[in-house]
Amino acid sequence: MQVSMKLEIRDSPGQLVTALMPISDMGGNIKTVIHEHDYASDLGSLSVEVVLEIPEERLDGLMQLFRERGITVIRFGEERMHYQQSVILIGHLVHTDLGDTVDQIDMTGYAEVTRMSLAMPAIDERSSAKFTIKALSREDMDKAIGILREVSRKKNILMIEPLEF
């Protein structure tokens, strides 16, 4: 089974390895790790997002190992969206209702914007955003990208696509 987790770890050397070792110890296979050190909390902790494959019967053992090693599981869920692509949008993103742009993908039920990084140089200048979209299937991803193309066209936003396959 493929699952997604968000873990909270202490911001100190060796903690990422400490957080990932229980997955290996329980026979899990790590598919993705997102560890952004720039986003430490005021409490001296960091979050780490992990997607892994593990036999369902070993999940309880994995959660127990996390507890024993002081790793907090903030979010846990079965990973149902297996296809991922990223695109860059450039234009007056905030002024053209960025929330609506995201909602056009999210409300499909088969795709969602799972990550977004926004840069706004000045209030009257164009902004840019990297959208990461996940979808249930390759066909669903193609439909989601098509929706985003149409939304971008209507809102006069430049879309650079896709950044990975």
By C-alpha distance, which of 30, 18, 33, 22 is closest to 61? 22
Residue 79 has what pLDDT?
A: 62
pLDDT tens, residue by residue, 155-164: 999 999 876 6
Contacts of 108 (CB under 8 A, 6+ apart): 140, 143, 144, 147
Q: Which residue has the higher pLDDT, 137 or 28?
A: 28
pLDDT tens, residue by residue, 16-33: 898 899 999 999 999 878
Which domains occur in the chain, in start order?
2-78 (3.30.70.260), 83-160 (3.30.70.2690)
Q: Residue 11 in contact with residue 36, Cβ under 8 Å?
A: no
Percentage of the chain beyond pLDDT 70 is: 91
